[in-house]
Chain A
Amino acid sequence: MKLKIKKNLLGLALASFVLTGCTSIAQQQTYGNYESKIASGQLDAAAEMAIKKADVNPETGGANDLLWSLEAATLLRIKGGYQQSTAFFDDAEMLMKAEDTESIAEKAADGVGSILVNDSLADYEQAHYDGIMANSYKALNFMFEGDVANARVEWNRVDDRQRRAVDAFAEKIAKLKEEQAKEATKKKETEANTEQSLSEAEKIIQSQGIDFSQWNAYQDYVNPFSTYMHGLFFMVNAQGGSDFGKAYDSLKRAAAMTGNDTAKADMVLADSLRKGKKSISDIEPTVWVVFENGLGPKKEELRIDLPVFVASNDVMYTGMALPKLVDRQQAFPALEVEGTTTTVLSEMDRVIHAEFKAEFPYILSREVARTVWKTIAQKQMNDKNEMAGLIASIAQAATTSADLRMWNSLPKDFQLARVSKPKNGSLAISAKGMETPLNVELDSKSRFSIVYVRAVSPLASPTVDVINI
Chain B
Amino acid sequence: MKIKVMAGAILASVMLTGCATKTYYVDQNTGQTTKQETVAGLNYRDFSDAADEMVQSMLNNPRLRHPNADKGAVYVMAISSIINDTTQRIDTDQLTKKIRVDLLNSGRFLTTTAIGLNGAEDEMTEKVRALKNSKLVNQQTVKGNNKVIAPDFSLSGKIIQRNFTLSKSEQEINYYLQMTLTNLENGLAYWEGEVPIVKKGDGRSVSW
Contacts and interface: CB of A to CB of B under 8 A. Distances in A.
Interface of A: 93, 96-97, 100-101, 103-106, 108, 131, 149-150, 152-153, 156-157, 160-161, 163-164, 167, 171, 239-240
Contacts of A149: 83-84
Contact of A156 (B19, B81, B87): B87
Contacts of B158: 240
Interface string B83-96: 11111110000000
A161 B85 contact: no
B83 A104 contact: no
B163 A239 contact: no
Nearest to B168: A171
B204 interface: yes
B12 A105 contact: yes
A375 to B, nearest CB: 31
Contacts of B81: 239
Which of A97, A108, A152, A156 is most buried by chain B, counting CB atoms within 10 A of its CB? A156
Interface of B: 12, 15-20, 81, 83-89, 158, 161, 163, 165, 168, 202, 204-208
A103 B88 contact: no
Contact of A150 (B15, B83, B89, B205): B89
A100 B205 contact: yes
Contact of B207 (A93, A131, A152, A160): A160
Nearest to B16: A105
B187 to A, nearest CB: 15
Which of B15, B85, B165 is most buried by chain A, counting CB atoms within 10 A of its CB? B85
Contact of A103 (B17, B84, B163, B205): B17
A86 to B, nearest CB: 11
B83 A156 contact: no
Given A101-B204, A152-B84, A164 B165 contact: yes
Given A97-B206, A157-B206, A164-B206, 7 more contacts: A96-B206, A103-B15, A104-B18, A105-B16, A131-B206, A160-B207, A163-B163
A87 to B, nearest CB: 13
A100 B84 CA distance: 26
B163 A240 contact: no
Contacts of A163: 163, 165
Contacts of B161: 156
B85 A167 contact: no
Contacts of A152: 83-85
Contacts of A93: 206, 208
Contact of B87 (A101, A106, A153): A153
20 contacts: A93-B208, A96-B206, A100-B204, A100-B206, A101-B205, A103-B20, A104-B18, A105-B15, A105-B16, A153-B88, A156-B85, A156-B86, A156-B87, A160-B87, A160-B206, A160-B207, A164-B206, A167-B165, A239-B83, A240-B158
Contacts of A160: 87, 163, 206-207
A97 B202 CA distance: 11
A55 to B, nearest CB: 22
Contacts of B16: 103, 105-106
Contacts of A171: 168
A96 to B, nearest CB: 7
A101 B202 contact: yes
B127 to A, nearest CB: 25
Given A103-B19, A103-B20, A153 B206 contact: no
A312 B81 CA distance: 74
Nearest to A98: B205
A250 to B, nearest CB: 14
Given A104-B15, A104-B19, A157 B87 contact: yes
Q: Which 9 A-B pairs have the closest CB atoms?
A: A100-B205, A105-B15, A105-B16, A157-B87, A103-B19, A156-B87, A97-B205, A104-B15, A167-B165
